[in-house]
Every structure is written in C-alpha cells, then in structure tokens.
C-alpha cells in the first residue's frame, strides 16, 4: 500500500476535467483503503493533443494524441497508474500495460450548449455550429445538412468563450464532463442516445497500470465498477473491429438490464451523407462477441472502403 514516504503516483493530463478525474480516482482509493491524501501524488503530463490546439485532431493523429506520453511514463515507471477518459483511448494498448479498473460511469449523453437557442431543432437555417468531434459533426450533418460546421477545439471554458465571442451559435460537450466539473447548468439540455448516439466509452474513466504490478492491481480492485467494465468491454470490442480512431465517425453504447446487455452502434460518412446503424442483445458474458459481430455487420452493409473514404 502507498504511504506518505512513497506516494502512489497518479498520471493525468493537466486539464481541469482530467484533474477532476484524477482526484476522483485518488478519493476513491483513499476511502477504500483508509489512506490520507499525502499517500498519493498527482503527476501532470502534457500530451501531444494538449500541446497542438490550432489544428483539427484528424490532421495530427488518432486517439493516442491524448494518451501516448502518459502511457510512456507509466511503462517507464515514472508514474504508478494513469487515469484516462476511456473515449480517448486507442483499442490497442502497449503489451506491458492493462486497464482492468473502471470507475462508475457518468451520464453518457451529449450536451447541447448555446447562449441563444434551446435545442438542435431550434437552430436557424444555416447556423454555425462548432465541434471538434468528427462523430458529432457527422451526426449533425446527417440530421441538419443546412448547418455550417466549424472546428471547435479547447477545454470547456475555451469553448464557452468562443460561443460568447460569436464564433458559433452552438456547440456540444459531454454531460459527463459537465457533471464532474459541477457545470451541468451550462447545458441547455441533454441529447438522448436515440437522437444522438454517444461516442464509444463516453462518460467512463479507466485506470491503467503495469500488467506485472500486482501491488497496484490489489490496490485498484476495490474501486473497480464491474457493470461499467462489462459495458466498456462490449463497446471497445465494437470499436476494435472497426479499427476506430479520431478520424472515423463511430458511435456506440452498451446498456445493462440485469444479466442482459444491449449494444447499439453506428458508422457514418464524415459529411453525414450515409449512416449505418444496428444493435445486438444478449447475455452480458457475450458482450465482446456481440460488439465485434455488430461491427462486422455494419461493415458488410456499408461496403468496402466505407470508413476510409
């Protein structure tokens, strides 16, 4: 167990939201093991995605933009665990690292944010909407092809400032992030998954460790939320079969009802001109297989080259 003389080092990005997630992880570990805060040290690591803010994500790489440097620090022993937003995580991990601890999942829905209009349906013809998410932009373009979609990167505060400055009339954020920042009132409303299916693993926090580190494995075990883990396994199997990245509009959501799991997924062209969607339902223990099978069905229906077009 960690102690003040050798604190457990928790690696994280430096954004306000990332730090809130790291503190939540630390607080859960403190409660689970009756440890003081000084038994832990939060280590901020700047990632490529944090450094390059003036270019679209698709131009500078895939999901690893927000995780690569943190995983390198973990593999090298500079930190003991890494706290991640699971929707930022590539499906392929370094062989020496593992994520087998998930905190209870937050609200999975997207938030509609605007100072002037109340919902997507209220946006006037030709309105400018900002988002850095290819998935959200494709879904919106499919529903409202009249809208002008512009790149909109930065943290919550930066995006709100852009709205105030008139760069766009509206944007989207994750309800989970707003909840963790105690800023749910920023949202005009949450968008139900039936209207806009969220990103794979949206709202989930994963804690990564070195595979061989049994001490840390034992430390994390009591804070692992099994139901969240079951849902994320299914969703990430769906994503893995699609070879999903930040350059691909993909949405997916698994939900539990007792021992039954339902997974929904969709793939879109970036311009929203085509969408292929489907779902599977079955035993929780078959979650990964269902996610994989659903992805392969959508790929068959979409035809060769759909995701690379």
Tokens for 76? 């090298």
- In the sheet that holds 40-44, the strands lie side by side as 40-44, 8-12, 81-85, 205-210, 97-102
Best CA proximity match to 246, nearest among 93, 50, 56? 56
Q: Has 293 been annotated as catalytic?
A: no
Residue 161 neighbours by CB under 8 Å, 6+ apart = none
Q: Which residues touch 197 (CB under 8 Å, ≥6 apart)?
A: 139, 251, 252, 253, 264, 265, 266, 277
Specify the 3-state DSSP secondary structure of 165.
Answer: coil
Coil vs helix vs strand at 150? strand
Identify whether the C-beta of residue 50 lies closer than 8 Å to the C-beta of residue 66: yes
- Indicate the burial class of 18 (C-beta count within 10 angstroms; 0-12, 13-18, 19 or more): buried
Length of the chain: 309
CA dihedral 216, 217, 221, 223 (to 10 degrees): 40
Catalytic residue among 88, 107, 110, 293: 88
**CA count, 13 A, side-chain hemisphere, 269:** 14
| Partners of residue 207 on adjacent β-strands | 83, 101
Q: What are phi and psi of 136, to 5 degrees?
A: -65, -40
Q: Which residues are catalytic?
A: 88
């Amino acid at each position: 167990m960690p102690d003040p003389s050798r604190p457990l080092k928790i690696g994280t990005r430096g954004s306000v939201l990332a730090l809130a997630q790291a503190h939540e992880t630390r607080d859960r570990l403190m409660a689970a093991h009756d440890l003081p805060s000084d038994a832990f040290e939060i280590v901020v690591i700047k990632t490529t995605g944090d450094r390059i803010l003036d270019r679209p994500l698709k131009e500078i790489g895939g999901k690893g933009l927000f995780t690569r440097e943190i995983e390198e620090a973990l593999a090298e022993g500079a930190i003991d665990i890494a706290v991640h937003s699971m929707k930022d995580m590539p499906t392929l991990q370094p062989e020496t690292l593992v994520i087998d601890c998930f905190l209870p999942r937050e609200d999975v829905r997207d938030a509609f944010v605007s100072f002037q209009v109340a919902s997507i349906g209220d946006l006037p013809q030709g309105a400018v909407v900002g988002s850095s998410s290819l998935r959200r932009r494709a879904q919106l373009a499919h529903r409202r092809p009249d809208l002008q979609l512009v790149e909109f990167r930065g943290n919550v505060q930066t995006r709100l400032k852009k709205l105030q400055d008139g760069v766009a009339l509206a944007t989207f954020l994750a309800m989970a992030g707003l909840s963790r920042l105690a800023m749910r009132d920023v949202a005009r409303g949450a968008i139900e998954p039936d209207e806009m299916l969220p990103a794979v693993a949206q709202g989930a926090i994963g804690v990564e460790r070195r595979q061989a580190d049994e001490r840390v494995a034992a430390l994390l075990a009591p804070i692992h939320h099994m139901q969240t883990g079951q849902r994320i396994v299914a969703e990430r199997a769906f994503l893995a079969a699609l070879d999903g990245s930040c350059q691909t509009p993909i949405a997916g959501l698994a939900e539990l009802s007792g021992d039954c799991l339902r997974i929904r997924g969709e793939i879109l062209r970036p311009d929203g001109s085509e969408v292929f969607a489907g779902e599977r339902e079955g035993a929780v223990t078959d979650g990964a297989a269902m996610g994989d099978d659903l992805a392969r069905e959508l790929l068959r229906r979409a035809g060769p080259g759909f995701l690379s077009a």
